[in-house]
Amino acid sequence: MSNKPILVLAYSGGLDTSYCAASLSENYRIHSVIVDTGGFSASELCAVEESALQLGVEKHTTLDETDAFYSRCLRYLVFGNVLRNNTYPLSVSAERVFQAVAIARYAREIGADAVAHGSTGAGNDQVRFDIAFNVLLPGVPVITPIRDNKLSREDEITFLRERGVQRNWEKALYSINKGLWGTTIGGRETLGSDGFLPEEAFPTPVTKTEPEMVSLQFTHGELTGINGATLAPVDAIRQLADIAQPFGIGRDIHVGDTVIGLKGRVGFEAAAPLIIIRAHHALEKHTLTRQQLALKDQLAAPYGAMLHEGQFLEPAMRNIEVFLESTQRTVTGTVNVQLAPYRFHVTGIVSDGDMMSSAFGSYGEMNNAWTGDDVRGFSRIASNQMMMYYTVNGHE
């Protein structure tokens, strides 16, 4: 057994992490780790393991964290109706942070001497990995060859070919990152401030043309059924994606502020998250009070921002999660959604907790809970201070 120190490498099988595996094996016993948060097929995971072993890693591990990813992260994004800049459902942000935390915990469990990732110095992921490693592995060196050496793709390919690693390293026209909570797409159109991704850039072709209704069943804020069939939330997310993505629903480009201060654009395809969040919010508007909705909005935005910036381990996030979950007690019911090419809309909800009940009156039609005199008195009190202001200071 070699007496080299053990290094845990966050490994995806792409060019950057392949370079890391090959170059770092000269000084370390490499344990490569891939974290599946719902974006890989079994065959893809086998291919990643095979590629890692071919590069000389001592051990390769796949961590299946899909259910944990949902229960410890995604469901709170639903509870908070979190969309960054009212557009993007944090598809990669949430995934990368959770993967970084899982890898850090694995490295801690095996007592690794060092940990590494293949991030460049130009994106968000470097910060997300570094933060997780700094918090969970204090004092453990974080090795980042691509970032530290400012390596180009050509540099990495040359290095690997010189060591006999023969693969097709040709860069694809579009970079695709598929996950449970949506797929992101990068290409020449997203490098500048103008231009939308062409049809062929999106992974799912549009094959559905006739409108279709789908009913979503929520239990305490979680999606637990589709069209009357009870499902585990992860399965429900996947099934909804299969139903809706062939309509071309959920396609957009997000423009946002990166952790490192740059502006960035990224395309995405996220039919299930966008439909779930919109449907969940519609159900909440019927079943929560005005103040509950207002407080949720105030806390959901910083929750999403902290997650985006790699602050998943910040204790304040656990505090917000307790509040968000406590608001979901009455958020149970069915939401009906119409799907059509490139669009969808909520048609209505059915819930035992619906406060839009005719027992209390019909908005704009009939009141059953107060008298006209009640409203006169209420309005007089509500306008009292404004009346005093304009009496003292003069009318505009």
Report the chain (396 residues): mean pLDDT per 10 consecutive residues: 90 94 95 95 95 95 97 97 95 93 97 96 91 97 95 91 87 87 93 93 96 98 98 98 98 90 92 98 98 97 96 97 98 98 97 85 70 92 94 83
Residues 16 and 79 in one domain: yes
Q: For residues 149 and 216, state if they share a domain.
A: no
Check residue 276 and give its pLDDT: 98
pLDDT at 258: 84
- Which CATH number characterizes residue 337's domain? 3.90.1260.10
> Are residues 224 and 97 part of one domain?
no
Report pLDDT for 25.
92
CA distance linking residue 246 with residue 18, whole number of Å: 34
CA distances from 78 to 31, 108, 221, 282 (A): 35, 31, 8, 12
Place of tokens 């690693």: 165
Residue with tokens 């959770």: 98
In a domain, 310, yes or no: no
Quote the pLDDT of residue 22. Answer: 95
Residue 377 domain-assigned (yes or no): yes
271: Cα within 13 Å, side-chain hemisphere:
27
Angle CA(98)–CA(103)–CA(105) in degrees, nearest 5?
95
pLDDT of residue 371: 86
Out of 112, 134, 162, pick the residue that ends a domain.
Answer: 162
Q: Answer with the one of 132, 162, 192 that is the final residue of a domain.
A: 162
Domain of 339 in residue numbering reads as 175-288+327-350
Q: What is the dihedral of CA 360, 363, 365, 367, to 10 degrees?
A: 30
Tally of structural domains, the chain = 3
Same domain (yes/no): 140, 183? no
Q: Tokens representing 361?
A: 């009156």
SS3 165: coil
> In this structure, is residue 294 part of a structural domain?
no
Domain co-membership, 189 together with 337? yes
The domain boundary residue, chosen from 113, 130, 162: 162
One domain, residues 153 and 229: no
Residue 322 belongs to some domain of the structure = no
| Tokens (6 digits) for 60 | 């390769």
Measured CA to CA in angstroms, residue 295 lies from 298, 301, 324 at distances of 5, 11, 9
Chain-centroid distance of CA 36 in Å reads 14
Same domain, 345 and 236: yes
Closest CA to 247 of 139, 345, 394: 345
Handedness of CA 68, 73, 74, 76 (dihedral sign): positive
Q: Alpha helix (H) ranges present in 163-220?
A: none
Position 311 in a domain: no
Q: Please give the pLDDT value at position 396.
A: 65
Which value, to the nearest 10 degrees, does the dihedral of the CA atoms of residues 287, 295, 327, 131 take? 140
Q: Which residues contact 351 (CB under 8 A, 6 or more apart)?
A: 283, 286, 287, 332, 333, 334
Whether residue 386 is found in the same domain as residue 343: no
Q: What is the pLDDT of residue 1?
A: 58
Q: Give the DSSP H/E element, type plus range, for residue 326.
A: helix 315-326
Q: Are residues 244 and 135 in the same domain?
A: no
Query: Does residue 121 lie within any of the structural domains?
Result: yes
- Give a yes or no: residue 53 inside a domain: yes
- pLDDT for 2 equals 72
Domain co-membership, 113 together with 53: yes
Residues 91 and 198 in one domain: no
Please report the beta strands in 145-290, taking only residues with DSSP state E, as ranges in sequence order.
175-179, 182-186, 212-219, 222-226, 229-230, 251-257, 263-269
What dihedral do alpha carbons 318, 320, 321, 325 form, nearest 10°?
A: 150
CATH number at residue 87: 3.40.50.620
Identify whether the C-beta of residue 11 lies closer than 8 Å to the C-beta of residue 32. yes
Which tokens is 239 given? Answer: 């099934």
Shared domain for 251 and 363, answered yes or no, is: no
Examine residue 99 and state whether it is found in any structural domain, yes or no: yes
285 close to 351: Cβ distance less than 8 angstroms: no
H or E element at residue 96:
helix 91-110
Pair of tokens at residue 293? 């909705």
For 170, counting Cβ atoms within 10 Å of its Cβ (0-12 exposed, 13-18 middle, 19+ buried), the class is exposed
